[in-house]
Structure 1
Amino acid sequence: MTAIPERLQESVDPVPGRRTLPRHVAFIMDGNGRWAKARGLPRTEGHRRGLEALRETVRHAGELGIEFMTIYSFSSENWNRPETEVNFLMGLLRRFLQRDLSELHKANIHIRVVGERNDLEPGIRRLLEEAEAITRHNSGMTLVVAFNYGGRNELVRAAQRLAAQVASGAIEADDIDENAMAAALDTAGIPDPDLLIRTSGELRLSNFLLWQSAYTEFHFTPVYWPDFDASCFDAALEDYYGRDRRYGGLTAQVR
C-alpha cells in the first residue's frame, strides 16, 4: 500500500465504516452573478445575497463541529472584473470584517487569511490583519479566507521561500520534500481539505488550493451560491460519507 503523506495522516479515520466528520471543508462560492441575472437583478445583488449565504454556511459549519473552513473569497484573477464590481466586492469585504468580526469573535472562530498581501490597498490589508490579530487565540473553528489568492502564485512564492533558504545555507536542496513544501505554503499548519464544495455547476478548481487538494474529495452542485444553505451543506456531507479514501493504495479508508 502506498504510504500516506505525513500531512494527511491525521485526517485518516482508524475505524473503518465510521461516519467521521471532515476536519476541513473548502468552498468555491460560485454563481452570484448568474443567480442575479436569472432574476433580472444587478450582479451586485447576487454578491450581497452571497454574503448572506456565507454567514449561514459559517454558522452551520461551526454548529456541526467542522474544525477548518476555507472560502475562496477573492481570487487574484478577480481584479480583471469591471472596476465597479471590484469596488463593490471590496466594500462587501469591509462590511463583513467590520460588522461580522465581533460575532465571529464571540463564536470563538479563528480567522486566518491566505493569499498575496504585498500589493493590497493598505486599508484592506489592515482590516485583514486586524481580523487575524483579534481572533488569533480563539480555539473554535478556523475560518481560512483566501483573498487575492491564486494557487499557482502560492506555489511560486513557496518555491521562492525555499530557494532563499537554500541560498542562505539554512537548508540543503535535498532537504526539500513534500513536508517542506507544505510548510512553505500560505496554508502551513492547516490540514489539507477533506472535502471541497463548488457551487453553480462548474467542474474545475479555478486555481484554488492546487497543492492542498491532491487527495481532496470534490462535491459539485448546480445550486448557485446565494441559494446554498444548510440543507445543501448536509447533502454534500452525505455525498462525502459515501466515498472511499484510498490515497493511492488498495485499502480504503472509509468515512
Structure 2
Amino acid sequence: MTSNAIEARDLGVRFRRGRRGGRSIKDLFGGANRRTRPDEFWALRDVSFTVRPGESIGVVGRNGQGKSTLLKLVAGVLLPDEGSVRVNGGVAPLIEITGGFVGDLTVRENVRLTSGLHGMPRAEVARRFDDIIEFAELRDFVDTPYKHLSSGMKVRLAFAVVSQLDEPVFLVDEVLAVGDKAFREKCYRRMEELLDKGRTLFFVSHNERDLRRFCTRGLYLDKGALVLDAPLDDVLARYNADYAAG
C-alpha cells in the first residue's frame, strides 16, 4: 500500500463546451487525440504529483485553469478521462456548499443526512450534533429549511459538518470567501487544528496571505497543465511574475 496521502498520475479531464463530453464505444478504443472533437477541450491534462501525509498544499492559478476540477478529482466526485488519482484514506471535501444538502429539509435533517452520506455513524452524528450547530452559529435555525438560509449560513453549516469528519485529507475550495470575516477566522483556526493533528490539506485560494498561512508547498496550474510543483514561495513568485506579464 502506498505511503503517500495522494498520488496523481497523468491526470486528464476532457469537457465539451456547454456540457460534459460523452463517449461512444468507438471513442473508448480510439487514441486520446482521436477522441478529441472540435467542440471539446482538456480542463486538465498530464498532471502528476504525490502528496505526503500531513502536507499542506496550496493550488494556485487564474480562474478557469483547472484548480476546482483537480479538487473534484481528488474528492472522487469527478472521474478522469486519462490517468489516475489515488487517495490513501477518506476525503473531507468543502468544495461546493450545496453538495449533499437538500433545500426542503431542515438544518437538523441536513446535518444528519450529509454527515451520514460522508460515512459518519448515526450515533456519532448524534454525539457531535450540538458541536456542529454551535460552530455554525445556527442554534436558532435548526428547524429552518436549508433553502431559506443565507449564503453565509450555508457556508457555516457546510464547514461545520465537513470539519467534524475524521478523514485524513481535507479539501477546501474558495467557498469560505462567502462567509463573514469573523467566521472565516474561526474556520481558519479550525483548519490549523486539523493540520496540527496531522491532516493533509488541499487548499484553493486567490488570497496570498491565506495561502502563506496554511501551505508550505504549491501547485501552479495554467491552461490545464501543472506548470510548477515547488515550495509555496517559489510557486507564488512564478505565478505573480506570469500574472504581471499578462
TM score, norm. by length of structure 2: 0.34
Query: Normalized per residue, which structure has more helix?
Result: 1
Structure number having the greater strand percentage? 2
